[in-house]
Amino acid sequence: MKRKRYYQLLAGALLLVSAGLLAMAQEPPAEKATVKFSDPSKPGQIVVENMRGSITVKGYEGKEVIVESRVREKAISEQETQVVKKISEKMGRILPPSPPPVPEFEREKKTPDKAAGMKKIEAETAGLTIEEENNVMRVEAESWKRTTDLIIQVPHLTSLKLSSTLQGNIVVEKVNGEIEVENMNGSITLTNVSGTVVVDTLNGETVVTLDRVDPGKPMSFSSMNGDIDLTLPADVKATLKMKTERGEVYSDFDIALKVAPQKNEEDSRKEGGKYRISFEKAIVGTINGGGPEIQFTTFNGDIYIRKKK
């Protein structure tokens, strides 16, 4: 009888906690807007800055830009996590490992003494702002306090300049233009894009598939911690410059490697300075006879250069 009562209480506690978690998981209302470029007959540019959250951009057949922002649900508190863990252990269930500790500056502030007996009221909106001028559209979310994910649809022929700082990945699909992407803590994935690409990430993997490459412009891919995985058209003409401190370089292209390393020489002894010569620590080679330069730089990660099948 006691054991039965124990499991009834245990199940009741689990139900209450689960109900609380489900209530928190309900998505707040999205902010959504449709904006036209000043001159829809010409390619436009989208500039997006998101401090905390992901950015997803998809090309479509329309002429307008559709922007949607969603505030992420609140994180489960440590106390609630422990309750669920204890109940699950008692019931013979296994939970996944706990997430890493939240950085100090992201932790919830203590309730001030003046607010004793009062409830905190939080905004459920992202504070989305969109500005358009001369075919340049700027999208920004006030996301320092609440993590906000941005989903944007653009005409296929659009240039992009995207940046995210915390808690978000950047994804781009089916866009043709000049694409510049920067992410401090998160991955970058560009699929079926065309034109030119410049990518920089501090912590995260970069995966890019190019359908077509602009033959007149260089491209660059860099990462401090993370692999760079680039797929190029089989007939692309390019000169590759590849540098990784703690990784390897792999490719299924026939790359004609340059034997002699690039030499940099400086001599300012006539002006009372010094003489310096250095050889660059990079692998240089050409694909299909060479062409515009594509630079790859990673400190802690491998480089993969694939031939599109």
In the prediction, which pLDDT does 80 show? 43
151 pLDDT above the threshold of 80? yes
Comparing 20 with 228, the larger pLDDT belongs to 228
- 283 within domain boundaries: yes
In the prediction, which pLDDT does 105 show? 46
Q: DSSP characters for 47-74?
A: EEEEEES-EEEEEES-SSEEEEEEEPPP
CA pair distance 170, 156, nearest whole angstrom: 17
Q: Hey, which residues does 65 pair with through a beta bridge?
A: 35
In the prediction, which pLDDT does 309 show? 86
Residue found by looking up tokens 């689960």 in the block: 18
CA pair distance 218, 226, nearest whole angstrom: 22
Comparing 206 with 87, the larger pLDDT belongs to 206
Minimum mean pLDDT among 76-80, 184-188, 235-239, 251-255: which range?
76-80
* Secondary structure of 21-39 as H, E, C letters: HHHHHCCCCCEEEEECCCC
Q: Distances in Å between the alpha carbon of 116 and those of 102, 109, 111, 113, 119? A: 25, 14, 8, 5, 8
- 251 within domain boundaries: yes
* 164-179: average pLDDT: 94
- 271 within domain boundaries: yes
116 pLDDT above the threshold of 50? yes
Range with the largest mean pLDDT of 92-101, 120-129, 135-144: 135-144
- 259 within domain boundaries: yes
CA pair distance 109, 113, nearest whole angstrom: 12
Q: Domain range holding 301? A: 187-309
**pLDDT-based confidence at residue 143 (cuts at 50, 70, 90):** low
* 164-187: average pLDDT: 94
* 144-158: average pLDDT: 89
* Number of separate domains in the chain: 1
- 100 within domain boundaries: no
- 306 within domain boundaries: yes
Minimum mean pLDDT among 199-208, 215-224, 262-271: which range?
262-271
* 141-163: average pLDDT: 88
- 150 within domain boundaries: no
* 222-248: average pLDDT: 93
Q: Distances in Å between the alpha carbon of 218 and those of 77, 105, 148, 180? A: 47, 39, 33, 12
pLDDT digits (tens, 9 = 90+) for 288-305: 999 999 999 999 999 999
* 169-183: average pLDDT: 96
Tell if the pTM clears 0.75, that is, is over it: no
252 pLDDT above the threshold of 80? yes
pLDDT digits (tens, 9 = 90+) for 53-74: 999 999 999 999 999 998 875 5
Residues 6+ apart with CB under 8 A from 283: 240, 241, 242, 243, 249, 257
- 305 within domain boundaries: yes
